[in-house]
Each structure stands twice: as structure tokens, then as C-alpha cells.
Amino acid sequence: MAIIQSQTQKLTQKLTHQQIQLINILGLPTIALEQHIANEMAINPALEYDTVEKETSEEDSQDAEPEIEPHDDHISEGKLGEDYDYKDYMDRDSLDDYKYEANNHTKDDEKREQVFFESHDFTVALISQLDLLPITEKEKQIGEYLINTLDNDGYLRRELVDIADEFSFVHEFVTEEELESVLTKIKTLEPIGIGAKDLKECLLIQLNHKKEKTKDTYNAIKILQSHMTELSVKNFDTIKKTLKIDNEELQDALNEIKRLNPMPAGSTKEAAGKAITIEPDFTVIVEGEKVELFLNSSKHQPLKISDDYTEMLNTYSKAKDKSMREASSFIKSKVESAKWFIEALQQREKVMITVAKAIVKHQRKFFLTGDEADLKPLILKTIAEEIDSDISTVSRIVISKYIQTSYGTLLMKHLFTEGLSTTNGEIVSTKEVKKVLMECVNMEDKNNPLSDEQIAHLLMQKTYSIARRTVAKYREELNIPSKNFRRSAAA
């Protein structure tokens, strides 16, 4: 067989180092950004603080008044998509409507840095672990998408077929098998039990992950695998008879189960007392019917290119000596890197403002009332299309950014919620339905609790048309026990 040599042309897209770094910067919360800046300054001597600009900014801030009203119809223009070319943005969309830290805080204001008890912000840590796995770029993209789909307790409640359809529409075609493969890898990440579809799988993942399994461990696995129903109604006699174990062995197995974490990403006894420091990236202030959005700039001073390096570059570039020309090449690379880094920081703020403004516009009623029932149905795709961006960009912004409000500090991603159609044709958020569901349970006869079917009927009377299995799903997400457990607790 003859060997034939031929040439073919192939068009591919490849992100530059600068584009990749910009993507990473977009996902950094304020505190992490400060560390990133410190690291960059440590390796690039061409970067230095612009103390003159900082002092001028503070002097100019004394009489500044906020002007932004994010409920207007204007959405900043600009393609924030896959090319991430910062040059497209540097001259667009003036930021005059937004006030930064120096402009929107007086000397008497409290520091924005807050310490409060928080345990559900786990997605950033999961994505960091995902980055360490030997997986392809597509698998990484799938992994990030799945992680962003997890609920606050770390469960993947949605069906893979629905996620596959959504991912294929937004990104590229993906099969359920591909999703399942990546999900299996996610289930190996910490905290163990993450990514399970229900409580049974969550507990089994934790038991099977144990390196040293005892007889009690295996009995616990058997109980969860085959006797979950009997366990939920405390039918211990059937469990003992089927597994051929005595009271002591049963109790030891139950103790194994009790030591597991039913909410791997939610509040636990261990996590409940863990205080973490949160520095909000945005502040929303409400005065009457006026909603104002502020971008809280980082605590770091403005950066600039070193005057010394600029002068050396001008001097060395004209030199004829070979060693000086080589030095000129090194200095030029550092200066260009510093220039790009400064522009990337500016670009980060522009993108963050654009995304936040669109979100606040959609959820204005919530910011006025603080009631989760007032959250409108909103998905990442809606914001991405509105600002002419892609979903991954919006996701990187909202996944780890916080907004400070008079009702507390919350993750931006919690402002996104799916929608349901009511019997009168309105679209309401799932959080509103969950709130009504909780009210139904709170008002029930504790000695004769409502079944999921009865709750679904009550919700139907209130125009919320959802199936019994959806009621069960929402009930689990709200950590409401089943009817039998609620009756036992009331006894």
C-alpha cells in the first residue's frame, strides 16, 4: 500500500493564555481576586500600585451621590462570549452610572467584610477539585454544568435526560451516558455523597466510600439497598428477620447510618459552627421604590505599569548591545503582561456590572420586599441572551459572587429559579411554590399529617398544578419528613 502525503486545512478555535486567564479572573470572588493580584505582582515586577490615583479617587469621593437605577430598560451592549477580546470593551459602556467602594462608602460606614455562618456555598470548591481530575475539556465543561445544577444540599434532583437536552441546546450535543460518566467522577469529590439523586443514594455513596468496612457497615448497606421503606416507617422486625440479625446488630447498623451526612453540602452539626468570611461583590440599596446597585471594588489600590520599567524599555530598545536587546525583550514581555492584566481587571468589572444589572432588573420585586416568593423564574440562559453573552460566562460570575442587601448577604446564583405554570396561566417560581407547600405542612393536623397526594390537591386549589412526585421532591429539598415520620414525631 502506497503512502501518500497530503495537506489539509482545518479551522479550530484555541484560547490564548490571556483569554484563559481572563476566564479564570471572571470566576474569582473579591477575596480570591486580592490574592490573585498579590501573586501576579510577585512574579511581574512591571506591576506596581498607583498611589496617586488612589489618593485622588478618595478625595473625589466625598460628595459623590449614587445614580444607578438598575430597573431601567437599558442593558449594556457587548459580546461577552467565547473570544473574550478585552479590546472590544475598553471603550464601550461608560461606568459612570456605577459607584465603586471609594465613591459609595463614607468613613462612618461599617466595613463590608462580614463574618456569618454559611455552609451551602460549595460549588467553587467542587469545581476546584474537578480541575485536578485527568479529564477532557468537554468533560470539564459538563462537570461544571452538573455542579451548577446541584441544589443547596448537594443533590442532583433533575433527570439526566432533561440536563442532556438543555446542555446540547446551549453548548454541544451530549448523551446521557456522557453525563453519567462525569457525574460518577463528581461523586468521588469532597464532601462525599455529593451528586446523589436522593437520600438513599447519598448515604450509600458514603458507606461504599469507606476504605475499611465492618460487619455493621455491610448491614447498613443492605438496609439502605433493600429496606429503605421499612426503615422509614421503623418496621425493624421485618429488617431483622430478612437480614437474620439480632437487636444489637440492628442497632449497630443504624448507628452507622446515623453517623452519615444526609445533606453533604447543607447544614450539618460539623458545618453549622464554621464561620467563614464573606466580602460582598455588590451592594443593593433600596430607598422607597428606588433600587440602587453598587459594585464593591476590591480593597487593593489601583495598579499601573512601573515607571522604571517603562523607562528601561525605552532605553534598552534603542541599544545596539546584544545583551541589552535581550534585556529589552524580557522587559517588553513583562510590560505587555502587566498592561494586559490591568485591562483584564477592568474588563472583569465591566462584565460583572453587566450581568448584575440584568439580574437586578429581573428580580427587582424581590429586592423591594426580601420575600423569596417574589423571585421571578430566571435561568442563566435568559441573562446570557439578554446581554449577548454565553451561559458559561454568566455562570462564572454568579457562582461565587455575593450581593449584600438589607435582608442579608446572598449568593447571586440563588436569584435564579425555575418556573412553573399555574392553572390561570401565570408563571411562578419554584421557590414560591415551595413556600406555599411549607405553609400547608405547618397548618396540617399533626396527628393526621397530609400525604403528598393531599398536598398536591391543596396546591392545585391554590392554582399550583404539580404532580405528587414533584411534591415529594420539593418536600425533600425543604427537609420536610414524610407523612409517617411527621406522625411519629407528633406522637
Number of domains in the chain: 4
What's the pLDDT tens digit per position in 162-185?
A: 888 878 876 788 899 999 999 999
287 lies in the same domain as 408 = yes
348 lies in the same domain as 299 = yes
pLDDT reported for residue 424:
72
369 lies in the same domain as 476 = no
Whether residue 272 lies inside any domain: the answer is no
d(CA 470, CA 196): 17
352 residue type, one letter: M
Has residue 28 got a pLDDT over 90? no
431 lies in the same domain as 330 = no
Angle between helices 160-170 and 137-149 (to 10 degrees): 120
3-state DSSP: the chain helix, strand, coil percent, rounded to 5?
50, 10, 40
Using DSSP bridges, classify how beta strands 282-287 and 275-278 pair: parallel, antiparallel or unpaired. unpaired
Has residue 80 got a pLDDT over 50? no
What's the pLDDT tens digit per position in 195-244?
A: 999 889 999 999 999 888 899 999 999 999 988 888 877 888 999 999 99
286 lies in the same domain as 353 = yes
3-state secondary structure of 117: strand
Whether residue 349 lies inside any domain: the answer is yes
CATH number of the CATH domain containing 164: 1.10.10
Whether residue 6 lies inside any domain: the answer is no
What's the pLDDT tens digit per position in 394-441?
A: 888 887 788 988 888 888 888 887 777 777 767 777 888 888 999 999
Q: From the CB of residue 114, how many other CB atoms can be counted at a distance below 10 Å?
A: 16
Domain span holding position 182: 120-191
* CA atoms within a 13 Å half-sphere pointing along the CA-CB vector of 208: 13
pLDDT reported for residue 97:
35
Whether residue 395 lies inside any domain: the answer is yes
CB 409 within 8 A of CB 114: yes
Global confidence as pTM: 0.53
pLDDT reported for residue 300:
62
217 lies in the same domain as 297 = no
364 lies in the same domain as 451 = no
403 lies in the same domain as 434 = no
How large is the average pLDDT for residues 272-290?
75
What would the grid cell of residue 142 be? 459538563
pLDDT reported for residue 223:
92
Choose among 401, 349, 296: nearest CA to 92. Answer: 349
pLDDT reported for residue 81:
35
User: Percent of the chain scored above 90 by pLDDT?
Assistant: 19
Domain boundary among 205, 232, 260: 260
Q: How confident is the model at residue 74 (pLDDT cuts 50, 70, 90)?
A: very low
CB 27 within 8 A of CB 396: yes
CB 93 within 8 A of CB 350: yes
